[in-house]
Amino acid sequence: MRRPHLLPDNLKRFLAEVPQLNQWDDHEVLNNWYPGEILDDARYTERRVDVLAARAGQAFFEWTPLSAGPVYRKHSYGPLLDIFKLDMRTYKDANDGDTYADPKRGLLGAQQRAWLIRGLLESKATWKVIANDLPLGLVVPDGPAAQEGVAQGDPGAPLGRELDFAEVLRTAHRHGVTGIVFLTADVHYTAAHHYDPSRAAVQDFTPFWEFVSGPANADAFGPNALDATFGPEAVFVHAPPAANTSPMGGHQHFGEVEIDPHSRAMTVRLRDLTGAVLYSTTLHTAGRGSLQ
């Protein structure tokens, strides 16, 4: 059966020319969903989100170039790059205040967290890119008293879902792992964040970068507040002047990453809808990188 939304020539050309690593997030089902959620919404005849997610999951695997199995997986590109693609939805706990101290809760689940730590420690690649579908240091509220993402705005020691990543970062640091870079989307603007223990409530991690860009063809908003737990600095931000700015307003973004095969340096460029470079920086595994 043909699907009309896949028929436009420009989309077919894009899909033929651009490889994809597909992730599973909220809008495959509904906004900000989590396992076990029961909707209080009269528009739905089926209000059990687990049922909706199962149906969406079937469609997801049928219509994306992804083999069956866990969505989280590692993609290796020779000695320069390993990509660790996370699933921060399937194992997610309920959206609440996100200030608990229970290490058994979180976003990743024990199995995925152990897989990520093991993969980072075993990786021989120069760069270990973590594709996280929810940003690490940005506060993403889900209503007045609940949180959708990792951070919750408490600048102190890790709490709630931050505990997942505190363990990952701490273990990688203690084993001398370098070259970790986070690439994420979710929030509707673009930014470059540098994380450093000298600014953080915890010091047991190696400095790293997180680059935010996307999504494509969606209303734009932001910027979101940063949580100081892991010491982020917003080195660059490009957000719209008002929330829910139309895609036609020009605040659409995508990112580009290039690794030089000789120097092994990673250059990240944040671009707008026209392809113009809004921000660029070159990173080296031995230090913070140049700010351009």
Kindly tell me the sign of the dihedral angle through the C-alpha atoms of 182, 185, 187, 189.
Answer: positive
Q: Give the per-residue pLDDT at 4.
A: 65
Question: How far apart are alpha carbons 201 and 226 in whole angstroms?
Answer: 13
109-122 helix and 162-174 helix, angle to the nearest 10 degrees: 20
**Contact yes or no for 282/266 (Cβ under 8 A):** yes
The model carries a pTM of 0.93
Residue-level pLDDT at 289: 38
Question: How far apart, in Å, are the Cα atoms of 81 and each of 78, 156, 190, 212?
Answer: 6, 33, 23, 19
Residue 120 confidence (pLDDT): 98
One DSSP character per residue, 11-29 reads HHHHHHHS-------GGGT
pLDDT tens-digit profile, the chain (292 residues): 456 677 888 888 988 898 889 899 999 999 999 999 999 999 999 999 999 999 999 999 988 888 888 999 999 999 999 999 999 999 999 999 999 999 889 999 999 999 999 999 999 999 999 999 999 999 999 999 999 999 999 999 999 999 999 999 999 999 999 999 999 988 999 999 999 999 999 999 999 999 999 887 888 888 999 999 999 999 999 999 888 899 888 899 999 999 999 999 999 999 998 999 999 999 998 644 333 3
Contact 277, 270 (CB under 8 A): yes
Task: Using DSSP, state whether 283 is helix, strand or coil.
Answer: strand
CA–CA gap between residue 253 and residue 190 (Å, rounded): 6
